[in-house]
Structure 1
Amino acid sequence: MSQIELSFEFFPPRTAEGMDKLRATCTQLAVLQPHFVSVTFGAGGSTQQGTLDTVLEIARNGLKAAPHLSCIGAARDNVRAILARYRAHDIRHIVALRGDLPSGMGEIGAFQYASELVEFIRTEHGDWFHIEVAAYPEYHPQAHSPNQDLESFARKIKAGANAAITQYFYNADAYFRFVDDVRRLGIKVPITPGIMPITNFSQLMRFSSMCGAEIPRWIARRLESFGDDKASIRAFGIDVVASLCQRLLNGGAPGLHFYTLNGAVATSAICQQITLNR
């Protein structure tokens, strides 16, 4: 049996206490032997140094870390310098994203799409970096049509991306349909489903409204019915997400990428409920 590849997303802590919490989280999740962990990059590069510092801290603790790199609002020389810094630290894995413009910034910058960033990385560094890109099973909220979204994804792969991680979702059929659609376009790269543990109903609804992830009505109503009962929300969320993960793995998903929000408890509990070997 081969073990399913797990990966985890973290964000750069802004305080010493936050870094201590992240170290503890890394220690707890390391027992699951993740293939890699990723570290987010704030809008317009607002956490640029924090991303690098966090990646290096994680690497010192024995985990393979992949920084996110978003390009919207960025100058080519700035992106070139970031890539050179990562390469100098022997970081070979990047999550390349378009990202969002920071509030108040009106200039798109040198790159309009993630495919342009991927192409730039390949032009500058050849095959040095393993490049992950984003995928949207329920389609990007700014896409004019599903076909346009699929074409945008195909451009990122054609530009040189090695693999993809999806936005989180709670409808497995959306993932399987997306994979079928891109396979029909001749795209063969691994597409790993993104998994968001459910621990806080209002937070989940806020995140989902921003990123376009659909919360099935039955899940939303059940969560709503628990009110402030955090224990019931947590238990229900673990069961729902573990069932989703098991169905994805049974259906051929190459792994699972957890959006941890720098916590380990929910992710660990979900992984304990699913079969990680096949």
Structure 2
Amino acid sequence: MSVPSVSFEFFPPKSLEGSFRLWDCVQTLAPLAPEFVSVTYGAGGTTRTLTHEAVATIHKTSGLRVAAHLTCVDATKAETMEIAEAYAEARVSEIVALRGDPPKGQGKFTPAENGFSGSVELIEALSAMNKFRLRVGAYPEKHPDAADNQADIDHLKRKIDAGAHSAITQFFFEAETFFRFRDACVKAGIDAPIIPGILPIENWSGAKRFAQSCGTSIPAVINDAFENATRDGTTELLATAVATELCDELLQGGVEHLHFYTLNRPELTRDVCHALGIMPKASLQEVA
């Protein structure tokens, strides 16, 4: 079994302390030579400027390929495309194009006045620029706004047909969940790469809230194990073991790339990568 390629997701800092944490995260994980790293938007587009600044800084100072998240929320088409042009000028060549979550308290997504109707229209506009490699979101379990699982797959097909090059899934807890989804995508005629998203669990109560909000099912065996580990103070060991086992099963099932949601806490992701045989690459400066 070959060593997989990896990518990492960060979120933009909202404070000076957060800036140091993000930079520490980049420094910790960059030696693992990720294929790319991505930087998220906050709900409702609340971190639009911070995201742009973080993307530009990471790209300029680390040499990593950065994929910038871009959403349709709370912005006109012109404003959104202006941000895309700014990314192109900063020599950012990858975008994760998403509909985006509505602002807190708003409920369901509503297009902004003169804004994009959703991710498909956004992808079409970005694809027409011919300046970016486009990645999109995918949902191995039903998205809260979708009618059913097939609706999610049909929507993903429309995004790929609109110009997306690959998809990154929402996190999940069992490899079989991803394999079922991958098979359904192939059956639907989706031939773009589907990258599994992995969430190393730093905090179980937080992970449960996250899972419930995005429709990720929680296996009873996982819940029981983390409840016991929380009482025993062994959550870090369990989290490393659970994430490593999930990744190993995915690799044995033919997966070649893993995308980690780091939550700007790099140690657990680093430990899982090491357990999978993904080791730091020495830089030319270190060899010299």
Q: TM-score, normalised by structure 2?
A: 0.90
Q: Is the 8 A contact 1:68 1:95 kept in 2?
A: yes
Query: In the alignment, is the contact (CA less than 8 A) between 1:39 and 1:51 conserved in 2?
Result: yes
Unaligned regions of 5+ residues in structure 1, if any? none
Equivalence map 1:1-278=2 (5 Å): 3-59=3-59, 60-103=61-104, 107-109=110-112, 110-123=115-128, 125-126=129-130, 128-230=131-233, 232-276=234-278
Contact map agreement 1:96 1:133 (CA 8 A) in 2: yes
Q: Distance in 2 between matches of 1:137 and 1:114?
A: 17
Please list the CA deviations of residues 202-250 of structure 1 after superposition, one character each: whole Å capped at 9, or x if unmatched. 11111111111112110101111233444x1110111011000011111
Q: Structure 1 residue 56: deviation in Å?
A: 1.6
Q: How big is the shift at 1:184?
A: 1.4
CA contact (8 A) 1:11 1:39 kept: yes
Question: Could you list the runs of 4 or more consecutive aligned residues of structure 1 that deviate by over 3 angstroms after TM superposition?
Answer: 104-107, 227-230
- Residue 171 of structure 2 contacts residue 197 of structure 2 at CA under 8 Å; is this kept in 1? yes
Structure 2: runs of 5+ lacking an equivalent: 280-288
Report SS of the residue matched to 2:259. Answer: strand
- 1:181 Cα deviation from its structure 2 partner: 0.9
Q: For 2:273 and 2:3, how far apart are their aligned partners in 1?
A: 12
Alpha-carbon contact 1:193-1:257 (below 8 Å) kept: yes
- Structure 1 vs Structure 2: percent identity of aligned residues? 41
1:245 and 1:225, CA in 2 relative to 1: closer, same or farther beyond 3 A?
Answer: same
For the 8 Å contact 2:32–2:278, the answer to whether it is kept is: no
Cα distance in 1 for partners of 2:219, 2:81 equals: 42
How far apart are 1:44 and its partner, in Å? 2.9
- DSSP-derived class of the 1:31 partner: helix
Contact 1:73 1:111 in 2 (8 A): no
Say which SS state the counterpart of residue 175 (structure 1) adopts.
helix
Q: Within 2, Cα distance between the matches of 1:272 and 1:263?
A: 16
Aligned residues: 274
CA–CA distance in structure 1, aligned partners of residues 245 and 10 of structure 2: 23
Flag the 1:201–1:61 CA change in 2: closer, same or farther, 3 A. Answer: same
Deviations 1:55-90 (A, max 9, x none): 122111221111101113321011111011111111
Deviations 1:20-58 (A, max 9, x none): 121111111111100110000122321111001111221
Query: What CA distance in whole angstroms lies between the structure 1 residues aligned with 2:238 and 2:121?
Result: 41
1: CA distance, partners of 2:36 / 2:230: 36
For the residue of structure 2 that corresponds to 1:256, the secondary structure is strand
Matching residue's letter, 2:184? D
Matched AA of 1:122? S
Does the 8 A contact of 1:72 with 1:112 survive in 2?
A: no
Task: Report if aligned partners of 1:71, 1:97 keep a CA contact under 8 Å in 2.
Answer: yes
TM-score (normalised: structure 1): 0.94
What is the CA-CA distance between 1:186 and the residue it aligns to?
Answer: 1.8
Q: CA deviation at 1:2?
A: 6.1
Once the two structures are superposed, residues 140-189 of structure 1 have per-residue CA deviations (whole angstroms, 9 ceiling, x without a partner) of 12211111111111000010000010000011111111111111122111
